[in-house]
Amino acid sequence: MTEAAAKVEKAKLTLPDGREHEMTCYRSTIGKDICLIDIRDLYSKVNAFTYDPGFTCTASCASAITYLDGDKGICLYRGYAVADLCRHYDYTDVCHLLLNGDLPTEAERVDFVNMIEDHMMVHERFKEFFKVFRMNAHPMAIMVSASAALSSFYSESMEWSNEEHRESSAINLVAKMPTLAAMAYKSSIGEPIVYPRAGLSYAANFLRMMFATPMKEYVPNPVHVRAIDRFLTIHADHEQNASTSTVRIAGSSQANPFACVAAGIACLWGPAHGGANEAVLKMLADIGTVENIQQFVTDVKNKKDGVRLMGFGHRVYKTYDPRAVYMRELCKEVFDGLEYYDPQLAIAQELEKIALSDEYFKKRNLYPNVDFYSGLILRAIGIPTSMFTVMFALGRSLGWITHWMEMVGSGQMRIGRPRQLYQGVVERTVPAPAPLPTAMPSSRDISRPTTADEPARKVSSATAGITRRMSGIRLASKKSADMTGMHPTVPT
C-alpha cells in the first residue's frame, strides 16, 4: 500500500475488560468501500490476537500486482482487465507487464522475447532427473520436484537480497517452466524429450515440446497456439490465492525462489484449487448425460458424500468470475475454430443453467469459476487430463515469481507465522512410565528356540510394555479430542 493511498482513519476495539484500542485503517487505491484495519500491534498493546481460519478477512501483505473485486466480478493485472489483456496481448507481454509493471514497448518486446527464448533450455543433466520417476507418475508430482530441482542448478545466483539474482531467477523460471512441463509429460508417457526451438512463440514452443517426436515434427495450429497463450494469461495471477500465499510464506523464511515455487505447485495440486479443472471433467463424465444433471444437482444440494459442483464457487467472487466469462468466450472460439464437438459441453452448459437458476446456488452466490470451461478447452486442444493442473501451474508461475519479487524487493520479509487458538488439554504431569520387563530376549534366544512356542512367548513379553504404552497413547489422543478445552463451541 503506498503512502498516498493510505488515509489516516481510525477504528476502535473495545475488549471484554473494557480497555479500548485504536487502530489505523487503510484503503486500497480502488474498491474504497473496504477498510483494512491494521492489527499489527494488537498483541503488544492489548494482549489479543484475531481468529480467522482460512484468512477470510485478513490481508497478509500490501501488493500492487493484481486487483480483484469479488462483488463486481473484476480482475485487473497492474490495472488492466484480464479479459482485455487476453483479447489484445500475448502471454509474454503479460509476463513483461507483471514483472516490470507495464506492457512492453516494441523494442522492449523484442528484447524480452529474446531473453525468454535464450533461457528456455534446461541443463542437460536435467534429463537424467526425469528418468527416476516411475512410468505413469502424475506430471504434477514431477513438476513439484522439478521446480525445486532448479535450485540445484542455480545455487550461485538465487540470493534473495541480490536484485540481479532475483531478476535472473524470475526469467529462468518463466522461461524454463514450459520446457519442464513438457519434459514431465514426455517422461510420463515414455517419449524422448523435445528441446525448445528459437523463433516460435512461448505457447507454440510449449505445444511443440509436448507433441513433436523424433519421427514427426509438430505443425503449430494457430487455434491451439492462441488458446494456450490465452489460457496462460488468464491463469497468470490472482492476488493472494492459496498457492500464491504459500509461495509468499515459503519466501518469508528466505527460502530460494525455486523452492518457494515448488511449494506453490504443491498447494495448487489440490482439487479445491488448481486440481479443479481436472475434477470438472471427471464430474461431467460421472454425470454422463443431460438427463442425469437434475439428480446430480440434488446430490450436491444434499451434500451427498461431499459431492460438490466442481468449477463453481470462489472465496472472493460472489458473482460471475470474470475469468470464467472469458473462458466461455474462448471455449466457443476454440470449438468453432476447430469445428470440434464434445458431448460434455452440452452437459456443462445445461448444468450451469440449472445451477444458476437454483435457490441453493443463488443463496450462496455460487457461480462458475475459471475452471468450469477450461478443461473442455484443454481437451479440445489435445492436452491430456493429467496435464491440466500442470497447465495452470505453467501460467501461474508468473504470478508466483512476481509476488516473490515484490515481497522480497519491497522488504516485506517478516516471516509468516500465524497464531492459533489452542483447544487442546491443559498442562498436566507426565505419568510415570510402565516398568520395562527386566529380561529382554536376545537375538540368540529367538534364533535358537528350545521349544516350538518359546520364541513367540519371549517376543510377546518383550513387546507387551510397548503395546501397552502405545494403546495408552491412542487412548490419550482420543481423550484429548473429547476435551476440546475452554471454548468447545468455537466454530472452525
State which residue, 202 or 312, has the beta carbon closest to ligand ACO: 312
d(CA 448, CA 457): 14
CB of 144 to ligand ACO, least distance (A): 17
> Distances from the Cα of 143 to the Cαs of 184, 203, 284, 435, 476, in angstroms?
7, 18, 26, 50, 40
Q: Which SS3 state, helix, strand or coil, does residue 74 take?
A: strand
Cα–Cα distance for residue pair 246/261, rounded to 1 Å: 9
Give burial (CB, 10 Å; 0-12/13-18/19+) of 41.
exposed
List 69, 314, 321, 403, catalytic entry: 314
Q: How far is the CB of 81 from ligand ACO (least distance, A)?
A: 18
Q: Minimum distance from CB of 408 to ligand ACO (Å)?
A: 25
Single out the residue of 51, 58, 46 nearest to residue 16, CA to CA: 46
Is residue 367 within 8 Å of residue 314, measured between CB atoms? yes
φ, ψ for residue 23, nearest 5 deg = -130, 145
From the CB of 305, what's the least distance to ligand ACO, in Å? 13
Minimum Å distance from CB 293 to ligand ACO?
A: 14
- The type of residue at 315 is R
- Decide: 261 and 401 in contact? Cβ < 8 Å: yes
Annotated active-site residue 96? The verdict is no
Question: Is 314 designated active site?
Answer: yes
Q: Do 185 and 142 touch, CB atoms closer than 8 A?
A: no
Residue sitting closest to ligand ACO (CB): 313
Closer Cβ to ligand ACO, 230 or 314, answer by number: 314
Rounded to a whole number of angstroms, the minimum distance from the CB of residue 99 to ligand ACO is 21
DSSP labels for 333-385?
Answer: HHHHHHT---HHHHHHHHHHHHHHTSHHHHHTT--B-THHHHHHHHHHHT--G
Q: What is the DSSP code string of 226-253?
A: HHHHHHHHHTS--SS-HHHHHHHHHHHT
Nearer to ligand ACO, 371 or 406 (CB): 371
Q: Which CB atom, from 21 or from 273, has the smaller least distance to ligand ACO?
A: 273
Q: CA of 8: how far to CAs of 25, 34, 492, in Å? A: 7, 14, 34
Measured from the CB atom, the residue of 196 and 311 that comes closer to ligand ACO is 311
What are the Cα distances from residue 238, in Å, to 1, 176, 243, 370, 408?
A: 17, 21, 10, 11, 19
Residue 294: C-alpha distances to residues 291, 297, 423 (Å): 7, 5, 42
DSSP state of 290: G
State which residue, 205 or 374, has the beta carbon closest to ligand ACO.
374
Nearer to ligand ACO, 89 or 392 (CB): 392
Catalytic residue among 96, 229, 371, 403: 371
Supply the minimum distance, in Å, between the C-beta of residue 321 and ligand ACO.
7
Choose between 56 and 451: whose C-beta lies nearer to ligand ACO. Answer: 56
Smallest gap from residue 270 Cβ to ligand ACO (A): 9
26 bridge partner residues:
36
| Between 46 and 272, CB nearer to ligand ACO | 272
Q: Residue 187 Cβ, how far from ligand ACO at the closest point, in Å? A: 26
Residues that bind ligand ACO (CB under 6 A): 272-273, 276, 300, 308-315, 364, 366, 369-371
Q: Which residues contact 210 (CB under 8 A, 6 or more apart)?
A: 182, 185, 186, 194, 218, 383, 387
In the 8-state DSSP scheme, what is residue 439?
S
Q: What is the sign, positive or negative, of the torsion defined by CA atoms of 268, 273, 274, 279?
A: positive
348 exposure class (CB count in 10 Å sphere: 0-12, 13-18, 19+):
buried
Which residues are the active-site residues? 314, 371
